[in-house]
Amino acid sequence: MRTSLPAVSVLLCVLAGCTAPSSGVDLSGEAARLGLDAYLGQAVAEGTQTEGGVTTTTFTVDSGPLCMRGDPFRAATREGSGDALLVFLQGGGACWTEFCLAVTKAPVGMPGVDVLNPDLPGNPFADYDVAYAPYCDGSLFSGDADVDEDDDGTIDRYHRGLANLSATLDLAAAAFPNPSKVVLAGSSGGAYGTILGTVLVRAVFPDVELVVLADSGTGVARGPDDPAYVQGLLEEQGSLKFVPPECPDCVADGHVTGILDWWMAKDPDVRVGVFSSWYDSIIGDVFLQIPPPSFRDLLAEATGALHDAYPDRYRRFLVDGRMHTTLLGDPTGIIGSDLGAVELPPNALSLLTDLEIGHLATTQTEGVAFTTWAQALLDGDTAAWVDVQAVPGAPPTDE
């Protein structure tokens, strides 16, 4: 069965320039101005299946959404007992010419990771409606490029992150058209995806309270010593064209945190919470390939600048050690359960030796439980939602 997902109400709102009520600023039109709305309403569903209250929609491969090696993209929804909506962007690596470690297929259903487990004690999202976006194209949910890796005239790698995210948001808008609140959350690569994704979510849900939770993907890259790293990656994946033209400094400093700074200056209502460890082994060692002390210092500087600029709306939960993510609970939350769907570099085993996955219900630091901090973020309780920073311990060594 083939069904069209036009998301008529979404497109009408984009065209009409709907505004967020409390700020009075036209924000929904920003996605259209940057070209980020190009795939809204374009995805075509090939079929759906429902099991255990989770409905999975698989999209036709010729309607835009696609995984990295040409497999179909699919996304899932689940109705909760409340009226708030969680849009969750899965992690799963990244891929570009110099390095590729990425999940390449989208599973059926919704993984049982901590943040998506309604039965997990203390889970602040337990009663939320959920729209789940698997990560299978290696481009941080913002890619828009097809790559011929060996120059033989045939496309080998499809970066369709923006189309995949748009299809997921179409599903969310159709299934949950009137949420009381929208939380855009992501882990690892999905957390990086929240940066430009926030602009698109605001276009789809213009009149709703918006909260962002970035788990181990703060937007930090190699920094001013190597700005070409992030610029080259975004260019190859087709995302650089979406950087606001009036903001040349958004990526010039070698990070993508400048895009978030640009957006937060426009949207005075959005709240952003970020989680990281000081020496995240996956982001720092594997993908950025910089020494742990360098990652620590870049993390402190880049996120500190955002907190200084928006002290009541951008706050951090930074723990000591090597932990990567706290919303997931186990490695399948990143690589999935099908190891055949993960593309690995030759030295993958040595790269992943220090992988440490945190748990939503047990992570704490400086006497603050992450679940308490996250609940305060969701509630807008600025007294309880504090900026938490553990004192960095000695950096890890190779010994």
Q: What is the mean pLDDT of each run of 10 residues along the chain (399 residues)?
A: 38 38 68 97 97 98 97 98 97 94 95 96 97 97 97 96 98 98 97 98 95 98 97 97 94 97 96 98 95 98 98 98 95 71 80 84 97 98 97 84
Residue 345's CB is within 10 A of a number of other CB atoms, namely 12
Q: Give me the residues paired with residue 369 across strands.
A: 364
DSSP string, 319-334: ESSS---SSSSSTHHH
Is 396 exposed, middle or buried (CB count within 10 Å of its CB: 0-12, 13-18, 19+)? middle
Check residue 340 and give its pLDDT.
79
Helix residue spans in 113-211 (DSSP H): 161-175, 189-204
Enter the DSSP assignment of 109: S
What is the C-alpha separation between 215 and 280, in angstroms, rounded? 11
- Run of H or E including 159: strand 157-159
What is the C-alpha separation between 176 and 295, in angstroms, rounded? 39
Enter the DSSP assignment of 146: E
Please state the separation of Cα 384 from the chain's center in Å: 25
| CATH number belonging to the domain at 3-389, selected among 3.10.620, 1.20.140, 1.10.3470, 3.40.50 | 3.40.50
Check residue 14 and give its pLDDT.
37
What angle, 0 to 180 degrees and rounded to 10, lies between the N-to-C axes of helices 8-16 and 189-204?
A: 70
Check residue 310 and give its pLDDT.
98
Q: Per-domain residue ranges for the chain?
A: 3-389
Question: Which pTM does this prediction carry?
Answer: 0.93
Check residue 330 and give its pLDDT.
84
- Run of H or E including 46: strand 44-51
* The two three-digit tokens of residue 261, written as one number: 């700074």
Residue 343's CB is within 10 A of a number of other CB atoms, namely 17
